Amino acid sequence: MGVLAKPELPPGANPDWTIPQGFEHYSEAEHQTWTTLYERQAEILPERACDEFLHGLDALDLHGQGIPDFRQLNETLSGLTGWRIVAVPGLVPDAVFFDHLANRRFPAGNFIRGAGELDYLELPDIFHDVFGHVPMLTDPVFADYMQAYGKGGRRALSLGSLANLARLYWYTVEFGLLRTPQGLRIYGAGIVSSKTETIFALASDSPNRLGFDLERVMRTLYRIDDFQQVYFVIPSLTYLLDVTTGTDFGPLYAKMSNMPDIPIAAIEPGDKVFTRGTQEYARSGGRLRQGAA
Ligand code: HBI
Ligand code: FE
């Protein structure tokens, strides 16, 4: 994998990579794209997204009336958990990203995907960032977890252990599942902002679904180009917060540095198996082969 080019600070951006959202510049078509994406998710998320996510949509009045104004969202969000959304032009350097999270600032892209790429995009746009990530920031426990992650990220960078911590983010914040008395529910932004993966993550018999274990997750490889082949299940948001803030990551990083990464579709001895997946979707070529949106 090539070394990711160090993104250059775009002209006009602040040293912390923040920019004005430019709310007044969005076109009618861009507002309509948001509404279309919102309506598709609103239809399928009940009984699939966790209660904390759905309550967050209500608390923020994120109900599909076009692209939201960060100034309005921030008044409500900061009152609930002290978090604020800051607009950025796209991915920002890791150190910048962690510093924002450590200060309860969530960096959200201010651009929205084109009408022709509704179903899949590599880069996080405003719908992924704001619809996918922000509702969970209204939950006090998850809000604490995200700030702890930011503080941990700064430390991981200093220890050269970013890869392990990025996997923790990937398998929780982006693609995490939560166990509830009503069954498994989604809290990961990468799933909840995707129509097709929202269905796949809970209903398909292709992926593994395994009980969350901190070391196991931080050793497990992941993919960025298609549906996940494994989802990790937490028993509660409090568990996730407690196990991460209660762990000294230094010795854990040192221990993992002498251990091999775990392949994406592996099931290891000691795994708590909710679903032993067939991996049929991945084996059949996934999104590219099946033309799945
Ligand atoms: N920048 N804007 C933005 N959004 C992200 O999700 C993001 C980022 N920079 C780095 C990053 N994520 C990940 O590499 C971190 O989890 C390490
Ligand atoms: Fe994301």
- Atom 8 of ligand 1 has which residue's CA nearest to it? 91
pLDDT at 290: 58
Q: What is the CATH number of the domain that holds 202?
A: 1.10.800.10
- List the domain range (segments joined by +) for residue 152: 27-283
Residue 257 in any domain: the answer is: yes
- Phi first, then psi: give them for residue 106, nearest 5 degrees: -100, 120
**Separation of CA 92 and ligand 1 centre (Å):** 6
For residue 71, give Cα distances in angstroms to 12, 52, 85, 199, 208: 20, 22, 9, 32, 40
**Cβ-based neighbours of 269, under 8 Å, separated by 6 or more:** none
CB contact at 8 A, 152 and 250: no
pLDDT at 118: 86
Question: Which residue in this structure is represented by tokens 């430390």?
Answer: 155
Residue 159 in any domain: the answer is: yes
Residue 45 in any domain: the answer is: yes
For ligand 2, an ion, list residues with CB under 5 A.
Answer: 124, 189
Q: Which of 221, 122, 213 lies closest to 164, judged by CA?
A: 221
pLDDT at 1: 37
207 lines ligand 1 (CB under 6 A): no
**Separation of CA 269 and ligand 2 centre (Å):** 30
- Atom 3 of ligand 1 has which residue's CA nearest to it? 91
* pLDDT tens-place values along the chain, 293 residues long: 345 566 789 999 999 999 999 999 999 999 999 999 999 999 999 999 999 999 999 999 998 799 999 999 999 999 999 999 999 999 999 999 999 999 999 999 999 999 888 887 778 999 999 999 999 999 999 999 999 999 999 999 999 999 999 999 999 999 999 999 999 999 999 999 999 999 999 999 999 999 999 999 999 999 999 999 999 999 999 999 999 999 999 999 999 999 999 999 999 999 999 999 999 999 998 876 655 44
The C-alpha atoms of residue 284 and residue 1 are separated, in whole angstroms, by 24
For residue 160, give Cα distances in angstroms to 97, 166, 193: 16, 12, 31
Domain count, the chain: 1
90 CA: nearest ligand 1 atom: 2
pLDDT at 292: 46
Residue 246 in any domain: the answer is: yes
109 CA: nearest ligand 1 atom: 2
**Which of 94, 111, 130, 146 to mutate to test ligand 1, by most ligand atoms within 8 A of the CB atom?**
94
pLDDT at 122: 75
The C-alpha atoms of residue 291 and residue 155 are separated, in whole angstroms, by 41
189 lines ligand 1 (CB under 6 A): no
CB contact at 8 A, 73 and 134: yes
Q: Which of 225, 208, 206 lies closest to 262, judged by CA?
A: 208
- 167, two tokens: 């996997």
- Atom 14 of ligand 1 has which residue's CA nearest to it? 94
Residue 45 half-sphere exposure toward CB, CA atoms < 13 A: 28
- Sheet of 183-186: strand order equals 183-186, 177-180, 230-234, 208-211, 273-275
Residue 234 in any domain: the answer is: yes
89 lines ligand 1 (CB under 6 A): no
- Atom 11 of ligand 1 has which residue's CA nearest to it? 94
**Separation of CA 126 and ligand 1 centre (Å):** 14
Residue 290 in any domain: the answer is: no
Q: Regarding beta strands 84-88 and 105-109, do their DSSP bridges make them parallel or antiparallel, or are they unpaired?
A: parallel
pLDDT at 11: 92
Instruction: Give pTM, 2 decimals.
Output: 0.95
Residue 69 in any domain: the answer is: yes
Residue 2 in any domain: the answer is: no
- Atom 6 of ligand 1 has which residue's CA nearest to it? 91
pLDDT at 115: 86
